[in-house]
Structure 1
Amino acid sequence: MIAAIALVVIMVLCVGGGVVAFLTLRNAESGEGAKEPAVAVDEFLTAIYKDRDATKAASHVCAASRDDKEIAAKVAEVQKYASEYQNPRFRWTTPKVDNETGDRATVSTRVTMTTADEKVADQDLRFTVVQKTGWWVCEVA
């Protein structure tokens, strides 16, 4: 009887410890983020619009917001533009830190797509960037 109770207690502790470890580590950042908030945004935009590499873009996103399907969908959207428009080129203004408080910053930029037949489209973007092990993009609006 005592052995059974001890076994149950040990099982509860092991399962409880595993759950606590999972919840603690699931949002942990792997690797090192950018040195500055604006650099994190610039590297993220480069991965999306120039490299068109979802895996590389995801490596600049904080773990709490990392959604591989959503990032891949954005890269696919950019690739679709590349196939639908004549030689589209993407550029953006130098990311500007609008507000920085401790471990959180707001960064803005304007992304411009220009095509060979002189079509132009602009989009203003605002990023929320957080600092954990460096700076990571957490939200795009």
Structure 2
Amino acid sequence: MLIASIVLAVAVLLCGGGGLAAFLTLRNVESGEGAKEPTAAVENFLTAVYQQRDAKKAASQVCSAARDDKEIAAKVAEVKRYAEEYENPRFRWTSPKLENQTGERATVTTKVTMTTSDEKLTEQDLRFTVVQTTGWWVCEVA
């Protein structure tokens, strides 16, 4: 009886320890809390990049798997160059539209437009892949 109890206790510890290790390894590694909705994650990201021109804020909207601080900083620097190169550029975008959502993954689209005071205009259609872990996070922009 004592041997059976010891074997059972060891089995529970091994299974529990393995389960804990799997949980710690596979749990969501996002720090902080993402947006409440997929479209809000995109809106927050666009605002950080195009209006605030703040790479740190933009990175805070990106999922940890895709977060590349250098790449995000390069995109924000590009927007800043436009601001210096063109005459009073203004960035706006259409309301982000939820195209598809399956469980913890969504596709959101929008069109970003840059206009200048000397009437130059450029537009770019963007498609975002957004994932849900501790809220919604931008994971890919195409």
Bin of the TM-score, shorter chain as denominator length: 0.7 to 0.9
Secondary structure of 2:64's match? coil
1:27 deviation in Å?
6.6
| Maintained 8 Å contact 1:33/1:133 | yes
Distance 2:56 2:135 in 1: 18
- Structure 2 residues without counterparts, runs of 5 or longer: 1-20
Partner of 2:123: 122
Q: Which has the larger radius of gyration?
A: 2
Q: Deviations over 1:82-102 (max 9, x none)?
A: 000000000000000000000
Shift in CA distance, 54/26, structure 1 to aligned 2, threshold 3 Å: farther
Shift >6 Å, 4+ stretches: none
Percent identity between the two aligned chains: 76
TM-score (norm 1): 0.82
Q: Alignment RMSD, CA only?
A: 1.7
1:26 deviation in Å?
9.9
Distance 1:50 1:24 in 2: 37
Distance 1:25 1:31 in 2: 17
Distance 2:27 2:87 in 1: 42
Partner of 2:69: 68
Distance 2:84 2:121 in 1: 16
